[in-house]
Chains A and B, each alone.
Chain A
């Protein structure tokens, strides 16, 4: 049971967002820009970074939800998502994404863990400053979303089919659009 009286029937961050639509708005805008907005990193690559950080933070809801969105972007390749979580160095992803995942993993433990060498490694395989910036911010942002979801004791379903279905929906329509299905309409009008 959640720690506070969140609206019922809305799992994970959705219940928290429906409880406080004012903060839901910037939270949804930030995730939409970072994971689906214009970028030289694909949405799948960015969702894999979000999934990996959520896995390191042991947030069941976030790693399942974003893992499912990543898989939806990857034509249903759930095995790749699992490989990235288990050991991304052996996953079938680009060298550039591997160096960005190294940076993301360090940000998850604390921003000061990122070294000049980590940045040089990412640059040497083609990462741009903007890609490095967005990787740092995706990792930092998921240290927020994960703590928000777990800190309120939100409902976190175990049913993988549910995440798979929602993952397809978010990959197709985006975070802001899908949020209209669970945020109170009066909040959206503001």
Chain B
């Protein structure tokens, strides 16, 4: 049971969003810009960063829903599982590996990011905007994850629900509540 009286039947963050639509609006908009709107990193790559950080924060709802969104972008969940298990050995670009290393450090604490981490990302072709967005995606999921877990939201384990949610998020983004 959730810690406060959230609207029933709404899983994870959607319960928090329905309880407080005023704060939901900028939180949705931020996710949409970072994960869905056009960028030089693909939707799949950005969802992998979000999934990886949510996995490190041990947030079941977020890692499962964003993992499903990443799988929808990538046409399957094999890479998603490899990234959360050990991204260094996953079939992803060296640039994304360097960005995931930065995201993992931000998850612990922003001060963990070193000039060497940034130099490595740059040497693999990462731009300043891509580094910025990686830091902010990682930071933002340290918020979303804590919000979802801190309210004790309902987090179903039905995988077909997450697969459907992932498809919708990959197609429609985050600016409107899921249908």
Contacts and interface: CB of A to CB of B under 8 A. Distances in A.
Given A111-B149, A114-B3, A147-B135, A133 B143 contact: no
Interface stretch (B68-76, B83-91, B106-114, B156-164): B106-114
Interface residues of A, number: 50
Interface string A143-155: 1111111111100
A91 interface: no
A74 interface: no
A137 B87 CA distance: 30
A143 B143 contact: yes
B109 A58 contact: yes
Contacts of A136: 146-147, 150-151
Nearest to A1: B115
A25 interface: yes
Interface string A137-177: 10111011111111111000000000000000000000000
Contacts, number: 149
Interface in B21-61: 22-23, 25-27, 29-30, 33-34, 57-59
Contacts of A16: 132, 136
A100 interface: no
A107 to B, nearest CB: 4
B67 to A, nearest CB: 18
Contacts of A134: 20, 23
B33 A147 contact: no
B122 to A, nearest CB: 9
B33 A148 contact: no
Nearest to B59: A111
B149 A110 contact: yes
A33 B128 contact: no
Contacts of A3: 113, 115, 118, 131
A27 interface: yes
Q: Which of B20, B57, B147 has the most CB of A within 10 A?
A: B147
26 contacts: A16-B136, A19-B128, A20-B132, A20-B136, A26-B29, A29-B29, A34-B23, A57-B109, A58-B109, A108-B146, A111-B148, A114-B149, A130-B20, A133-B20, A136-B150, A137-B20, A140-B142, A140-B143, A140-B145, A140-B147, A143-B146, A146-B139, A147-B109, A147-B135, A148-B110, A148-B136
Q: Which 3 A-B pairs have the closest CB atoms?
A: A111-B149, A150-B110, A111-B150
